[in-house]
Structure 1
Amino acid sequence: MQSDPETTISSGRVRGRWRTAADGATSAAFLGIPFAEPPVADLRFAAPVRVAAWDGVRDAGAFGGTAQRGDPGITLIPEPSIPGESTLNVNVFTPDPGTGGLPVLVWIHGGGYFSGSPASPWYDGRSFTRDGIVTVTISYRLGVEGFGAIAGAPANRGVRDWLAALEWVQENIAAFGGDPARVTIAGQSAGGGAVLTLLGMPSAQHLFHRVWSLSGALGDVAPERARALTDTIARAAGVAADRQGFEGIDPDRLLALQKQATAIDPKAVGAMLAAGLSLGPEIDGDLLSQPTGAALASGVGADKPLVLGTADDEFTMVLAGAERTLRWVPKTLVLGRLGLERSRRRAYLNANRDVVAHGTARIAGRYVSDRLFREKNVELADQRGAAPTWMYRFSWPSGRFGFAEHCLDVPFFFDCLDAEGIAPLAGDHPPQALADAMHADAVAFVSGGEPGWTQWNADGTARVYDVPVADRAGAYASVAPLR
């Protein structure tokens, strides 16, 4: 019997597990390796502290604790919560820890900056290891613990966790067969926003070399909005809005207050579109000195190849339950309630006639999707100027919902259509050929090449992931009336 794989990293020796795929290919998984000390007690609202070295061999056969607590309920991606105080961990999946020079994919999970888990079966990297890529998933502090603007505590603790994890990768990935000079960071939703945030940070540029953002949801939270949220929570808890006050709030109680303060229902969508997120990376004037778009426009990260794209109907599910209520409501009136200026409404409807045909709720969902994701991604691509940038659309309509909803592209990117939890998102028979195509493009990019289509330019060409896959000029023309 083959013995468990072991390797030595900066903090000590770790023991992983060999895995055998259905086709007989082997790979190794090293799970729950801490890159920082547990963020509890005095470290709860502190910057991450480098993990202390250990003696002997540390077992890395199971996922470590997650920042997400409790049962998240039914979510679009299965992302389990795992108990434990040591929540700042990395998970490494490698074709062979005894080799070297392999490209590396570092995945940052989504979840709105308040939920999510790196322990999803969709993220385990088996398809990327099959194709010769070392895959790393990282954890980070969530919600107020990671991103709350708290007087007396360092800002953007969750961002600092990303940086610490990437520093760990630079220092240790060679021990797993990876090349620290060939690191691609990728993520979806808040994770996609995370990699864009990092791309715009001058202090992070040495930590990665390429970026792939799926449905990136940027934080770029204004300081006053960030502070207003923590003030609201502090009042509800009956404590001062500073580090000492928040340290006195039990984590479960803080999570409940956070959920109450950030709850979004269909009636509140318009306000969110106008004001932006209240929880996420904050423009704190120190770690993040300017919004991401401004940073990219100034040339930060211009040497890093970037792929970014969105699903066509990211937010439509939120309004799907209002189909009957909105059926007879004029579409222009609903768009106005969501904040679209009168002068742009007719042009927007004309540019989206295919969606208009499905009713008021669908066009409202498309508009919210455009404002939160699609329009912003086009703007970021334009702000990059001549920097190497590729855009895509994920347009294949889910066999479950009939449109390309938020998170639908993730199992295609990871080529894991046989994983648990796929049918509730994609239906019973998602097209494997589409997963083959998208995953192959990702492998080509992470391995150091181009993803396979024309760079973003004046004609607006993007790859459209549908059946069949096609490259289309003016692929994002439907958002032009919003710009």
Structure 2
Amino acid sequence: MDSFDTPGEPSEMRGLPAEVPHRGCPQETVTVRAPAGTIIGRRTGSVRRFLGIPYAEAPTGARRFGAPNRRGRFTEPFDASRHGATAQQVPLFATTTVPEPSVQGDDVLNLGIVAPDADDDRGPFPVLVWIHGGAFLAGSQASPWYDGRAFARDGVVCVTVGYRLGVDGFAVLDDVPTNLGLRDLLLALDWVRDNIAAFGGNPDQVTVAGQSAGGAAVLALLSSPAGSGRFHRAVSLSGVTFAADGDAARDFLGRLGQRLVVPVTRAGFAGRAVEHIQRCVIDLRDEQGDDLPALGLFVGDDILPVPIVDGLTLHGHAVPLLLGATGDEFDGDASTRTAGTRAAGTRVTDTLFRATCPSVAAARRYAVGGTWLYSFEWPSPVLGGATHCIDIPFFFDVLDAPGVAEALGPNPPGELATVTHADLIGFVRGQEPAWARATGTYGDTAREYGRPGAALTVDTTGVFDPVVPAVSGAAEEC
């Protein structure tokens, strides 16, 4: 359907904090008519934002712990000027590298759209659908690090998606569909397919991307028979391929049920508020140290019938994939950053994250879409290395976003953001990366970003390091 822009002031519909204009720029309301209904957003300069749009019914009452139900067409204009509710009601950690605001409310199955202006004649635009990280327990689609303004500037529609987390999204319980969080994401992709043209996007040119748990979700969707046809390119930043251990998950849910004083059943957990459950998860984590509960992707259902690596050999062959990791991930100490230590494959970084890259490339060796690797090597002077999450502001080109200086220092290299973001933009537009495809063999080429001593504005392609042979259980699982 057609879209049109109408200046004016939006009505106050949801009582959420207003979106702050970027750099104090004036805003106007903009209205889009989509198959989902009339949606009212904000325009700042040449960038339009439509935030908190429900793509499914609120997962409350009888719908809690149920498969997501598509949201009906809006009968009244929907005010999309503010971020919607987040599945994270209570932050898992007091401080995180990525700012992860919690927005209260029940309508957590929502998405935000940042798009070029309707008068931009470069469209229809390719679409990037972003899945946030957070170990499938936390995270927020409302993070300022995921603001898609640079994508809109460069002719890409950016969609950020919220999905159910923790017990509500990934518990294994009788009479509860497994992988509810993935089912949410699949429904969100259907919504994008059916509605994104009204925002200037091309439904036949959709890239699904994510970081950490979001990157793992991308790999899961790529390996799933249910993901077929729902997206056309894929990007996984610091993703992994292992799934939750069923016994460990059931043990954790048993202990959680004891703390909540409820039976370990759908009805038992549904009788407790999401916020209450999330606070109890934090308490249990604190009691057992910093180990996270064993909740996450489940293998053995209709969404993930086989392990993710096995699924990658069966599905998604036509989908080009860009994936990589940071050089240090959770090993930021200088003593763990030497080439010898990396090559030994003994670090958490190697076994959990970097080993994923060659194993995925090997599984997709014959994929006609191709697989390309990158390695983000720029060390943050604040965090002591190229640690987990610090590549996000570079890929999004938002080095001026809140929280970036605290994680990256006062002067992160803007030219590195230009190069990193441009590579991602080119991939989303359908261009084949300039470096060689990966096959999962020793010495696969990778694009290196920010390697100390290398120029930031030139192609710093190098060998992906390390390639960890699949000899240990951890390496095989990843």
- Aligned counterpart for 1:373 among listed residues 343, 349, 353: 353
Partner of 1:108: 131
Contact 2:437–2:445 (CA under 8 A) maintained in structure 1: yes
Partner of 1:290: 306
SS of alignment partner, residue 316 of structure 1: coil
Partners of 1:230 and 1:97 lie apart in 2 by 48
Partner of 1:142: 165
1:45 aligns with 2:65: yes
- Structure 1 segment 173-192 matched on structure 2, within 5 A: 173-192=196-215
Partner of 2:446: 462
Partners of 1:141 and 1:238 lie apart in 2 by 23
The letter of the residue matching 1:32 is: G
Partners of 1:76 and 1:292 lie apart in 2 by 28
Partners of 2:66 and 2:371 lie apart in 1 by 36
Q: Write out per-residue CA displacement over residues 408-465 of structure 1, whole angstroms, 9 at most, x where no aligned residue.
A: 1000000111111111211111111111111000000000111332111443110111
Contact 1:381–1:456 (CA under 8 A) maintained in structure 2: yes
Contact 2:354–2:466 (CA under 8 A) maintained in structure 1: no
How far did residue 45 of structure 1 move?
1.0
How far did residue 471 of structure 1 move?
4.3
- Kindly tell me: are residues 166 and 478 of structure 1, through their superposed partners in 2, closer, same or farther at Cα, counting changes over 3 Å? closer
Partners of 2:287 and 2:208 lie apart in 1 by 29
1:7 aligns with 2:7: no
Partners of 2:206 and 2:389 lie apart in 1 by 23
Partner of 2:340: 353
How far did residue 473 of structure 1 move?
4.7
SS of alignment partner, residue 285 of structure 1: coil
The letter of the residue matching 2:437 is: Q
Q: Write out per-residue CA displacement over residues 68-117 of structure 1, whole angstroms, 9 at most, x where no aligned residue.
A: 11355321011211111111111011103466421000000001111111
1:395 aligns with 2:377: yes
- Kindly tell me: are residues 284 and 386 of structure 1, through their superposed partners in 2, closer, same or farther at Cα, counting changes over 3 Å? closer
Partner of 2:394: 412
Flag as ranges the 4+ runs of structure 1 deviating above 6 A: none
Partners of 2:100 and 2:307 lie apart in 1 by 29
Contact 1:461–1:471 (CA under 8 A) maintained in structure 2: no
Q: Kindly indicate which of the two structures has a greater share of residues assigned to helix.
A: 1
The letter of the residue matching 1:380 is: V
Contact 2:420–2:449 (CA under 8 A) maintained in structure 1: yes
SS of alignment partner, residue 194 of structure 1: helix
Partners of 1:149 and 1:104 lie apart in 2 by 33
The letter of the residue matching 2:183 is: R
How far did residue 242 of structure 1 move?
1.1
Contact 1:134–1:177 (CA under 8 A) maintained in structure 2: yes
Partners of 1:171 and 1:119 lie apart in 2 by 23
- Aligned counterpart for 2:419 among listed residues 427, 437, 442: 437
Contact 2:435–2:461 (CA under 8 A) maintained in structure 1: no
**TM-score w.r.t. structure 2 length?**
0.85
Contact 1:219–1:282 (CA under 8 A) maintained in structure 2: no
SS of alignment partner, residue 16 of structure 1: strand
Contact 1:150–1:230 (CA under 8 A) maintained in structure 2: no
Partners of 1:474 and 1:60 lie apart in 2 by 45
SS of alignment partner, residue 308 of structure 1: strand
Contact 2:358–2:467 (CA under 8 A) maintained in structure 1: no
- Aligned counterpart for 2:429 among listed residues 441, 444, 447: 447
SS of alignment partner, residue 206 of structure 1: coil
SS of alignment partner, residue 236 of structure 1: helix
Partners of 1:214 and 1:311 lie apart in 2 by 8
Moved more, 128-137 or 6-15: 6-15
**TM-score w.r.t. structure 1 length?**
0.84
Contact 2:51–2:112 (CA under 8 A) maintained in structure 1: yes
The letter of the residue matching 2:434 is: G
Contact 2:56–2:69 (CA under 8 A) maintained in structure 1: yes
- Structure 1 segment 93-132 matched on structure 2, within 5 A: 93-97=114-118, 100-132=123-155
How far did residue 397 of structure 1 move?
0.7
- Aligned counterpart for 1:307 among listed residues 322, 327, 331: 322
The letter of the residue matching 2:449 is: Y
- Aligned counterpart for 1:80 among listed residues 101, 122, 125: 101
How far did residue 268 of structure 1 move?
7.1
Contact 2:126–2:202 (CA under 8 A) maintained in structure 1: yes
SS of alignment partner, residue 479 of structure 1: coil
Contact 1:30–1:92 (CA under 8 A) maintained in structure 2: yes
- Kindly tell me: are residues 264 and 433 of structure 1, through their superposed partners in 2, closer, same or farther at Cα, counting changes over 3 Å? farther
Partners of 2:155 and 2:139 lie apart in 1 by 27
SS of alignment partner, residue 249 of structure 2: helix
Contact 1:462–1:472 (CA under 8 A) maintained in structure 2: yes
Contact 2:157–2:200 (CA under 8 A) maintained in structure 1: yes
How far did residue 355 of structure 1 move?
6.5
